[in-house]
């Protein structure tokens, strides 16, 4: 290959166009990381608004919304009449919950293409969100309203009668192994749990989670083990497959699920109720951590709120959000392994006690330790870099080593990122990513994985394929996915 500096301008433009076309082909094949590399090559050869805009779209698919917004802004700087760039930036800012900025860009788009139905729809949706946020800010922190919702559901659960026509599992005063097995079978057949039993379960899990610390300590005994799973994202049939492969949860077969239970997949409610049920059944042997998707804005944007509203009611979706606020932010295994959804802090000097002290029963702020634990990602270069997601940071191997040394730890396990093999070991074996949603969004083609830890704390990885074609009795259905804003194809 001829170095770019040695090329004449026409050659550079030709090579850049070839790189762009290669990027487009990779994008259509869902190879978004490779597409980003191809668009970057085109930008290096001959920067243009089109190339930046295409790379922004690929970053969106990788959920690197901060990088997407930056690329769209660069495209606008190069060509302030390029409407698609304003649309890209609006989509990225909407994903970053910067709705006011997003609304301004959608307004600009509509001025140029006033009859575009997609732009109209996005503008209307964004405008509604801005109005709703203003209203919610006005009533924010109303603990009385939260208590009323809790009391209302408690009374309703007691008063509701179960119709004789209901064919699903029946819940007594407490969750039992038999109830959970019946529930799994019922959900596989796409049954709907009676509202009375759903409310009973939610009241019980709210009471339990509220009693827990922000950082929960787990001990693996000398003859025991623990299975650690990553993101599930509403893929109920893949969750059922984990239990088929590894055994149902029990006191002798404990699990830790590390956040992002909901959104994206069409069965987030079934996943959440199943996990809550096992958390109640085995309070000392089944553990759940909060992910960045167990938050109000993510649930509104990526499907969970709409799914719960469609299957039950809006106020039940609201109660789920109240429950999510009480999920622990992390777990400490045998005082040696820190497990959090996202990653390490964006500042030096943080100790384990600082994590224990985080006030978690709230929505995550834009920055700070709580957001870092939910959003940050590891990277190859040393030091810290701005996050391409727009929240948290990217932390290098030296940051991991320093944090572990300061806190007397051996390993960080986190989730939060799709990995082709379902897991990735980084930073000299000191930082592991685990992701348990195979073929994420029904298009990524990745495998899922989970970790088995015994008392020696040496991780053993199990990799598995998506459930399609594997479970003959319960094939993976493909209903209409939850509605949430999606940018157009590049």
Active site residues: 293
> What is d(CA 82, CA 89) in angstroms, rounded to the nearest whole number?
11
Strands 460-464 and 448-454: antiparallel
CB–CB of 321/362 below 8 Å?
A: no
CB–CB of 274/266 below 8 Å?
A: no
> What is d(CA 472, CA 402) in angstroms, rounded to the nearest whole number?
48
> What is d(CA 394, CA 413) in angstroms, rounded to the nearest whole number?
15
Burial class from Cβ neighbours inside 10 Å (0-12, 13-18, 19+) for residue 341 reads buried
Beta bridge partners of 357: none
Q: Torsions phi, psi of 414, nearest 5? A: -140, 175
Q: Report angle CA 31, 37, 39 to the nearest 5 degrees.
A: 100
H helices present in 46-176, as ranges: 49-61, 65-78, 83-95, 99-112, 117-139, 143-159
Hey, what's the torsion of the CAs at 160, 161, 167, 173, to 10 degrees? 70
Q: Torsions phi, psi of 324, nearest 5? A: -55, -30
> Where are the strands (E) in 131-240, listed by range?
215-218, 225-229
The helix/strand/coil state of 22 is helix
Six-digit token string for 238: 């893949």
**Residue in this structure with the two tokens 């827990």, named with its chain if needed:** 212
Q: Which of 41, 17, 451 is nearest to 227 (CA)?
A: 451
């Amino acid at each position: 290959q001829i170095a770019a500096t040695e090329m004449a301008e026409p050659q550079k433009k030709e090579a850049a166009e070839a790189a762009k076309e290669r990027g487009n082909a990779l994008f259509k094949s869902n190879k978004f990381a490779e597409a980003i590399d191809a668009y970057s090559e085109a930008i290096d050869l001959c920067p243009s608004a089109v190339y930046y805009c295409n790379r922004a779209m690929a970053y969106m698919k990788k959920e690197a919304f901060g990088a997407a917004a930056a690329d769209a802004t660069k495209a606008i700087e190069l060509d302030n009449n390029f409407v698609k760039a304003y649309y890209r930036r609006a989509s990225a800012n909407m994903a970053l919950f910067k709705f006011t900025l997003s609304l301004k860009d959608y307004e600009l788009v509509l001025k140029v293409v006033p009859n575009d139905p997609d732009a109209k729809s996005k503008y209307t949706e964004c405008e509604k969100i801005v109005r709703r946020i203003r209203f919610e800010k006005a009533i924010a922190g109303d603990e009385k309203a939260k208590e009323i919702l809790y009391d209302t559901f408690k009374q309703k659960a007691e008063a509701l009668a179960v119709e004789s026509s209901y064919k699903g599992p029946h819940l007594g005063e407490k969750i039992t192994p038999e109830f959970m097995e019946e529930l799994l079978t019922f959900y596989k057949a796409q049954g709907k749990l009676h509202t009375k039993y759903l409310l009973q379960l939610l009241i019980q899990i709210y009471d339990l989670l509220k009693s827990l610390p922000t950082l929960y300590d787990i001990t693996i005994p000398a003859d025991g083990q623990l299975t650690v799973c990553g993101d599930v994202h509403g893929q109920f049939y893949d969750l059922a497959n984990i239990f088929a492969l590894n055994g149902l949860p029990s006191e002798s077969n404990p699990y830790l699920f590390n956040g992002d239970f909901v959104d994206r997949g069409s069965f987030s409610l079934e996943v959440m109720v199943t996990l809550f049920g096992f958390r109640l059944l085995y309070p000392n042997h089944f553990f759940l951590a909060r992910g960045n998707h167990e938050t109000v804005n993510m649930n509104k944007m990526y499907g969970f709120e709409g799914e719960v509203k469609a299957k039950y009611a809006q106020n039940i979706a609201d109660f789920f959000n109240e429950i999510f606020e009480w999920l622990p932010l992390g777990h400490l295994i045998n005082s040696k392994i820190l497990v959090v959804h996202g990653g390490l802090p964006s500042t030096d000097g943080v100790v384990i006690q600082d994590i224990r002290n985080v006030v978690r029963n709230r929505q995550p702020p834009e920055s700070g330790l709580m957001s870092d634990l939910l959003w940050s990602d590891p990277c190859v270069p040393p030091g810290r870099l701005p996050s391409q997601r727009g929240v948290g940071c990217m932390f290098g191997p030296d940051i991991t080593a320093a944090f572990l040394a300061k806190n007397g730890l051996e390993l960080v396990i986190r989730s939060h990122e799709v990995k082709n093999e379902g897991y990735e070991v980084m930073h000299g074996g000191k930082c592991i990513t685990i992701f348990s949603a195979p073929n994420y969004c029904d298009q990524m083609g990745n495998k899922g994985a989970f970790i088995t830890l015994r008392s020696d704390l040496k991780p053993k990885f199990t990799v598995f394929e998506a459930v399609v074609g594997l479970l003959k009795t319960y094939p993976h259905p493909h209903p209409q996915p939850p509605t949430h804003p999606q940018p157009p194809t590049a």
